[in-house]
Amino acid sequence: MIINSSIKKYGITFQKEFDVGLLDYKNGDVVIIDKNISINNSGLVVIEIEATEKTKSYSYLPTIIQKIIETPFSRENKLIAIGGGVTQDIVSFISSILFRGVDWVFLPTTLLAQGDSCIGGKTSINFKSYKNQLGNFNPPNEIIICESFLKTLSEKEIISGLGEMLHFYLVSGQKDFDFYKKYYKTDKIKITKRCLEIKKGFVERDEFDQGERLLLNYGHTFGHAIENTTNYRYPHGISVCFGMDISNFISMKLGFINIDLYNDLKDFIFSVHNINFDTDVSINHFINALKKDKKNNLTGHINCVLTRGVGGMFLMNISIGNMKEYLEEYGFNK
């Protein structure tokens, strides 16, 4: 699969098993790897990182950059990222600023990164307590997806990846949603490949989030606020599932979908993915988190993606006053 980016054209290859030879490693290259991932690193320059939101913060990046600079790394070398979305964000951002830009290769090890974040080029770095406030667009030069990494994941990580990919299928339309329901339990690679095809279309039509690609924020405005207000109690993809349910609930309250469709989607999101959401969060705290979302630029309103049904997502600004009413009815604390 080839992604036609205006920044650089890059490809995705799929492999059954991981092998160090896939890295095309040359002297001076640096591997930056989630410390929970085990590989045969003999002969490689390896920097292990904690794949946490703290590590993905602007204040922590100099620690990693210093370690890179202290190796024989030069502009002719590449950074090799092995890990999930946090590792991707860190390496993508550093590669964009180090020596005014160096090549980087990504081997995503989580289902969430394999099925979503590995393409599209977005880089997001946290600033202090604010999530994803810094970043740019810097896609990798190459993506290598190894199916064997999925065997190392916990059930929660698998559910998180499936939850993240679900939002693409719901945005795409009923045919793809039916495809998801048919294969999500039995064929993760089939689900991943089709998800990347869906995202590829959005990315190539609207690479820099100026129009259609904004619909892929479905579930994310609320999902990011859930992460912020619960101190990341839930993995990202599960938070997105909760965010989709909130979007669907508000869509129902506004008359864009009926209660039967809302309940059907809720049952699928929650029951099939075996998740439960504790709404023991204050509305004011949640609203403050929504205001910090980088997509919100209209004072007194929250910009979010609502739905008229599967495949019918659209952008809408909701006043903070009305949003508080919907969140209270949904179950948040006053």
Residue 269 structure tokens: 């999101």
> To 10 degrees, the CA torsion angle through 155, 221, 210, 172?
50
CATH match of 163-330 with 2.160.10.10: no
Q: Give pLDDT, residue 131.
A: 79
Nearby residues of 140 by Cβ (< 8 Å), 6 or more positions away: 10, 81, 92, 104, 105, 106, 118
Q: What's the CA gap between 72 and 13, in Å, rounded?
A: 29
Q: What is the pLDDT of residues 159-178, one digit of tens each?
A: 999 999 999 999 999 999 99
Does pLDDT of 265 surpass 80?
yes
Q: Which tens digit of pLDDT belongs to each residue from 302-320?
A: 999 999 999 999 999 999 9
Q: What is the pTM of this model?
A: 0.93
Q: What is the pLDDT of residue 300?
A: 85
**What's the first-to-final CA gap in the chain, in angstroms?**
48
Alpha carbons 46 and 48: distance in angstroms, whole number: 6
Tell me what pLDDT residue 13 has: 97
**CB 44, CB 25: distance < 8 Å:** yes
Domain ranges in the chain are 2-152, 163-330
DSSP secondary-structure letter at 239?
A: H
Tell me if 1 sits within 8 A of 12, measured CB to CB: yes
Q: Which fold has domain 2-152?
A: Rossmann fold (3.40.50)
Residue 42 confidence class, pLDDT cut points 50, 70, 90? confident
* Whole-number Å distance between alpha carbons of 163 and 330: 20
Tokens at residue 102, please? 């160096």
